[in-house]
Structures are given as C-alpha cells and as structure tokens.
Amino acid sequence: MSALTLYDLDRGEWARVRAVRGGGHGIRRRLLDMGITTGTEIRVERHAPLGDPMEIVVKDYRLALRLEEARHIEVERIAPPTVN
C-alpha cells in the first residue's frame, strides 16, 4: 500500500507532513519555501468547484495547490490541535 498523501485527505482533516517526495527539484523547492516541510501541520480547507486545486491552511495562511502536487506530500492524519 502506498503512503498516505495530502491528496487523500478530505475537507476539514488535519495532517502532519512526513516528507515531500518526488517531483522535480523546482516543485520541492517551491513547497519548501512555502513552509511545507517535515513536521508541518496542515488543514485541508476546501477543494475548488471543479475538485482541483485544493486549498490548505499551513502556518496560518491559505495556500492553493493542485492535487498533482498534493500527491508529493506524504502525511499522517492528526487530531485537530487544541487551542491554547
């Protein structure tokens, strides 16, 4: 079974990034610069009306990315963090 990726998550789910794999150097670089690194927590906010791209919330801001890119982001599901 292949690893769980951001692609597999539904709206409202939370996840922690395990790794950013595959893709070209450019895409990995780009995702890294946008703050998607190992350990980052992500919430899936919604999908666009045509199902793709998806909107995620990472480090308190909203990011749109295509499902194609989401497949490169390996994640694990986590419970929504509690507000401190």
Partner 1 sequence: MLPPRSTDALTKTSPNRVVAIAGNPNAGKTSLFNALTGAARHVGNYPGVTVELKEGRAREARTPFTVVDLPGCYGLTAYSQEERVARDFLLCHRPDVIIDVVDASNLERNLYLTVQLLELKLPVIIALNMVDAAEKRGMGIDHESLTRLLGVPVVPTVATRGTGIPELTATCEAVLDGSIRINPIAVRYGHPVDELVVELAGALQPLSRMDPPMPAEWIAVKLLENDPAVWKRLKDFGDAALIHQAETAQRTLENHCNRDGASILAERRHGIATGAARQCVTRQRSEQRELTDRIDDVVCHRVFGPALLVGVVAALFFWVFKLSDEWAWIPWPGEWKSPTGIIETCFTGVEWLIRPIEGPFPMLHSLLHAALVRGVGGVLSFVPLIFFMFLFIAFLEDTGYIARVAFILDRLLRVFGLQGKSMLAMLIAGGIGAGGCAVLAVMATRTLREEKDRIVTMLVAPFMNCGAKLPVYAMLIAAFFPYRRTEMMLLLWGLSWVFALCAAWLLRRTVVRGEQTPFVMELPPYHLPTARGVLMHTWERTWAYIRKAGTIILAVNIVLWAFMYFPRPSDANATPEEQLRYSMAGRVGTLLESVSDLAGFDWRTNVALIGGFAAKEVIIGAMATAYAMVDTPEAGKDETEVAISLSGRLAADPAWNPLRAFALMLFIMLYAPCMSTIAVMRRESGGWRWPLFSLGFSTAMAFLVAVGTYQAGLALGL
The kind and range of the H/E element at 31 are: helix 25-33
Q: How far is the CB of 54 from partner 1 (least distance, A)?
A: 9
Sign for the CA dihedral angle at 15, 17, 22, 26 comes to positive
CB-CB contact of 74 with 37 (8 Å): no
Residues at the site binding partner 1, with contacts judged by CB under 8 A: 19-20, 23-35, 37-40, 45-46, 48-53, 55, 59-66, 68-69, 83
Q: How far is the CB of 8 from partner 1 (least distance, A)?
A: 19
Nearest residue (CB) to partner 1, 29 versus 77: 29
